[in-house]
Structure 1
Amino acid sequence: MGEEIKVIVFKLGNEEYGVEVDKVQSIERMVPITRVPKTYSFIKGVFNMRGIVIPVIDLRGRFGLPEAEYTDQTRIIIVAVHDMQVGFIVDAANDVIDLNSSSIDTPPEVVGGVRAKYLRGVAKISDDRLLIMLNLSEVLNKSEVVQLESVEE
């Protein structure tokens, strides 16, 4: 048996994704975001959270999914990636579950339109519910981190 991990469940479209709680620093409501010129289109800009400038990425754009209007359910999940705080815009974040790490299978090449390199695996929660686990270090690759670090300054 694998170890139990706590996972925050969030939605993009009809798919449910998960990220380990220990990588998440906070979940915020949508806030005004300052655009930053000459960045990747999925980098929406930055916002100031308690004195820290945090770059914000739209995960839909990152994964090549169609953009959606922001709603009352839209959230920014603040995660720590490569010793840096980054906000991910998601459609909703409303659940924390315990997951056995042995229930996470290797992802197929594409899940819900998202390439496997961004994914850690797929966990079967119940007969009709799958959870797509993100690989945070791949969601932001090294050159994008360098670009984001220049955004922070």
Structure 2
Amino acid sequence: MFNKFESNAEPVDTTGQEFLVFTLAAQEYGIDILKVQEIRGYDSQSVTRIANVPSFVKGVTNLRGIIVPIVDMRIKFNLETVEYNHQTVVVILNLKTRVVGVVVDGVSDVLMLQPSQISAAPQFGTAFSTEYLTGIGTLGERMLILVDIEKLMTSEEMALVESAAA
């Protein structure tokens, strides 16, 4: 007899981690979705430039009363420059010590990766220091560079931005 509480479906594995996938120069990156507050279109007119900050800092913007530094990830990762377009977005991150916006070429989706799909970060071949990498995620033929955005955005360079904006 059929029991309505029995299921033939495979149990869903929820032990993975969700990543927001964004692109920079045709490469996909992933950041912990729990750090993402919101995604907004990039409007350079709403960003106020600040003197004496690192070149990767576009400036600051006022987001509902909070002054938020805006970081261009292409410059931060030493990638070629690109024209901003309608797909360029700012991902607003809510980190332990600050709110930061990062400019990326676009956001594609949110992916759940299981621990078996995440490999250790390589020690060479990346455009930026591997201390900010948590690993490489693989999903079929797709590879994501997984970034420890908390560590990247709480570096000493970012402390300079806060002091300049104050």
* TM-score after normalising by structure 1: 0.90
CA distance in 1, matches of 2:96, 2:159: 10
Q: CA deviation at 1:111?
A: 4.5
CA distance in 1, matches of 2:48, 2:62: 9
Size of the aligned set, in residue pairs, is 152
1:8 to 15, 20, 38: 20
CA distance in 2, matches of 1:123, 1:2: 17
CA distance in 2, matches of 1:138, 1:7: 16
Answer with 1 or 2: which has the greater Rg.
Answer: 2
> Where do residues 71-90 of structure 1 align in structure 2 (5 Å cutoff)?
71-90=85-104
The one-letter amino acid paired with 2:93 is: V
Q: CA deviation at 1:143?
A: 1.8
The alignment partner of 2:83 has SS state of coil
The percent of aligned pairs where both chains have the same amino acid is 33
Which structure has more strand as a fraction of its residues?
1
Gap regions ≥5 residues in structure 1: none
Find out whether 1:118 has 2:120 as its counterpart.
no
Work out whether residues 55 and 151 of structure 1, in 8 Å CA contact, stay in contact via their aligned partners in 2.
no
The alignment partner of 2:51 has SS state of coil
* TM-score after normalising by structure 2: 0.83
Match of 2:155 in 1: 142
Match of 2:113 in 1: 99
Gap regions ≥5 residues in structure 2: 1-12
| RMSD of aligned Cα (Å) | 1.8
The one-letter amino acid paired with 1:45 is: G
